[in-house]
Every structure is written in C-alpha cells, then in structure tokens.
Amino acid sequence: MINNSSSKNQLNNIKSENLKNIYSGKIGVLGNHTSGKTRTIKSLINLASKKIIFTWNEDEEFTGTASTVPFTISWKFSDQKLIIVDNPGQNSYQQIRNYVAKSGENYNSFLIFIDAISWNFSKIAFLQAQSILNETKISCIPSTVVITKLDLLEKLVNDEMIDVIARQLVKSLNKLKSNARIHFYNRSLKKMEWVIHKVNNHYISFSHLEQIFINSIEELLMINPIEGLTKSNIRILIRSLLFGYCELLQSWISLPEYKNRYSKVQIPEQIDLFLSNYRGSVLESGSQWEKQTKKPDIVEINFPIELFDFTRILDVFKRYSFLSINEEQASKEIFQLGSKILPLCEFSKSFFINNNNRKSLSMLEEELRLHLENIQVQYKFPEKKSKFSQFKELPPKPKPRDFS
C-alpha cells in the first residue's frame, strides 16, 4: 500500500501516461460474398505467423444463405492488436446498421473487396460503405480496394477457357428436353433432389437455367479441371452471367423494338441485391423467388432461350461479368464506380490479390500498416491530416444521394 501522497500522484501520472498509449480502431472489410474477403484475411494471418492457422472447408460452406452476423479476427500485427471486422457478404443494410450501432466503435478505414469474375456485383461493396458512413455520420474514411481472382480471370480469358465453358453451356441447352430432371443437392435437407423441367413457349426460369449451367460446368470440370474454378466460383460465375443477362434485357426492353418482343420478361428492382443474398443456386439454397424478393407479386424471371447462343454468352461474360484484365484499366473502372457511389471519397490505391501469391499479400500487409499508422495519428493528433497522402480535405457532408 502506498501512503505517501507524492508517490500516489507519481503512480497516477504513470498510469495516465500508459493509458494515453492505449487506443482502438476498427477496419471494416466489405464486399459481396465469395469476393475473397475472409480467405485473404486468413492468408495474411498465415503469412504473418509463418504457419497455417486456418484451413479451408469450401465444399461444406459454399452454399446457403449469406450470414447476417459479421465476425471479428483478432491478430497481433505490427506490435499492435489488430481487429478486422469481416462482413460475410451481407447485402442487408439494416443488418449492417444494427451491427454498427452495437459494435461501440466507429470505423477508421475500409478494405473494399472486388471479385474480378463477378464485376457486375461490385456495387454492393460500395453501397455497404455508403450505408455505414451514413449511419455513423462520417463523410469519408481512408479506403483501399482489393481486387481478387484476377489470376483466375486471366486464365479464363487468355487461355480461352471461357470459350470452352460457353460451348458447354450451349450444349446443355441443346440437350434439354421437356420433362427432363434437373438434379441438385439440397443443402438444407442434405440430400440429392430434382425438379422436372417443362418447356414453356421457349422460355426458361432463372432457377432451372442456373442449375442446368452449374451442373454442366461441373460435368465439364470432371474431365478438364480449371485451377481456381472451385464450387463456390462456379456458382458466382453463373450467377454473374445471369445477372448480366438481366442487365442486358433491362437495357433492351426500354427500347420500342424490343419491348413487345420480350414483354414476358420482368426484372425486379435492385436485382443485384436480391441475387447476392444467398450462396449457391436458388434450388440448392432452398430459396423461393417470391420469398427472397419479399414481394409476392413479382414472379421469377423467365429468360428467352434464344438469347443463349455461344456468341452472346461470351459477350455477356466479357461486358458484364468480367473486370478488365488490364490492371490500369481495371483500377480506372473501379474508381469510377466508387466515386459515383461515394463522391467524397478518394481511394488510396488498389491491390490485385492472386491466390497464394506471397508478393501481393506482402504488399497488402504494408498497406494495412499504413492504415494502422493512420489510426494512431487520428487518435493522438486528431487535427492532423490523414497519412494517406492521396486523400484530400473533405467539404461538409451533403444530403444523401440515391445511386441505386
């Protein structure tokens, strides 16, 4: 026990000085599910620890409804404790707002993940950031864009594997007959099931077409495997293709010459948010279209089968699903999209993360160090500018804009 008042004061001063060195920050990890967020974070931890801490259970986890509860990873990094908040592809902005309100800390920076083989879903990551900034009343915070699967994209395009896939998809439709069984594995009931396909005036439903294409690619890969085209990536590739067709049809049915021709086609609003709500296919997830949209009056999309020829499938892949394989052009496209949704933000840079590439992971690790230094500066010297030199001083926050 210390009785001397002077000694007590000295001890209190020491405690006070130590407390000044304790500060916390939070880095949000945003992006559509299967964009590589969790895998990259775990790879970084494995790299830093020089041993495998996490293994992959992809076959068990590739389908089902995307989790609504973000989780955190605590990591001893740069002599500091780093907590990364990993949001598993959640597109429910109300869930994100609820989590932000309960988490107790404001975000200090974002890592925004973009999947190179499902580029048309990239808007979701920026909308997640927009939702968080609106909820926390922050104009902007430092953000780094992380682009994943560029190595897989290059393999598909440069090695012309996407041509092989497109031909396989056309072949699967040519073989399709009325009353054919479409097999799928029900992930909820954990058993194989099937549905009966019936020809409907040369139209085919989204759920049937999606499963036919998935089954077709899996059959192809049994003979000619493509490294990186995992079960999860097969499903996001097909989902992105069909979303691309939705975008194409939306642009067509607004024109007089196509409006009557495709009058049976109904594309729900915010179709990208709906399609990103669950992993796997509609049938595998046990999802009913009307329940997922929460609008019983909206019927399932029916596609004209005539649109799925080899040339058009390739065109939709390259125009809608795939990011540019040129890194400079890819960065330009991403920042154009980001600045449209987050007009006050300037992004520090973009990183291209290829599977098991230590060099790209090390570069991202250095970027994380910069984020940590910036958090420290914000805490100790709040009047100072960000250590991200590319960020400019922000004007007053304007009224929210709708970019949906």
Q: How many residues does the chain have?
A: 404
Decide: 371 and 108 in contact? Cβ < 8 Å: yes
57-66, 87-96, 155-164, 322-331: the lowest-pLDDT one: 57-66
Average pLDDT of the segment spanning 117-124: 92
Instruction: Please tell me the predicted confidence (pLDDT) of residue 99.
Output: 59
Asked if 109 contacts 371 with a C-beta cutoff of 8 angstroms, the reply is yes
Q: Topology of 5-148+326-380 in CATH?
A: Rossmann fold (3.40.50)
Strands of 188-256, DSSP E: 191-197, 203-205
Q: Cβ distance 393 to 139 under 8 Å?
A: no
Q: Does pLDDT of 288 surpass 70?
A: no
pLDDT at res. 65? 41
Domain boundaries, the chain: 5-148+326-380, 154-321
pLDDT for residue 27 is more than 70: yes
pLDDT at 373: 79
Contact 360, 149 (CB under 8 A): no
Cα 308 off chain centre by: 26
φ/ψ bin of 68: left (φ > 0), alpha (ψ from -120 to 50), beta (otherwise):
alpha
The whole-number pLDDT of residue 360 equals 81
**Mean pLDDT (whole number) for 259-264:** 82
Concatenated DSSP letters of 309-346: -HHHHHHHIIIIIPPPSSHHHHHHHHHHHHHHHSTT--
Classify 222 as helix, strand or coil: helix
Amino acid 15: pLDDT: 43
**Comparing C-alpha atoms, which of 159, 149, 82, 93 is closest to residue 353?**
149
Chain centroid offset of residue 270 CA: 16
Both structure tokens of 310: 């080899």
Query: What pLDDT does residue 377 have?
Result: 73
For residue 12, pLDDT beyond 70:
no
User: What's the token pair of residue 85?
Assistant: 């908040």
Categorise residue 50: left if φ over 0, alpha if ψ from -120 to 50, beta otherwise. left
pLDDT classification of 87: cutoffs 50, 70, 90: low
Instruction: Indicate whether 278 pLDDT > 90.
Output: no
Residue 304 — very low, low, confident or very high, per pLDDT cuts 50/70/90? very high
Angle at 148 between CA 25 and CA 360, to 5 degrees: 75
pLDDT class of 141 with cuts at 50, 70, 90: confident
pTM: 0.81
Rounded to the nearest integer, the mean pLDDT of the chain is 76
- Report DSSP letters for 268-301, one per residue: -TTHHHHHTSEES-HHHHT--HHHHHT-TTSPPP
Q: Above 80 in pLDDT, residue 290?
A: no
- Which one has a higher pLDDT value, 39 or 48? 39
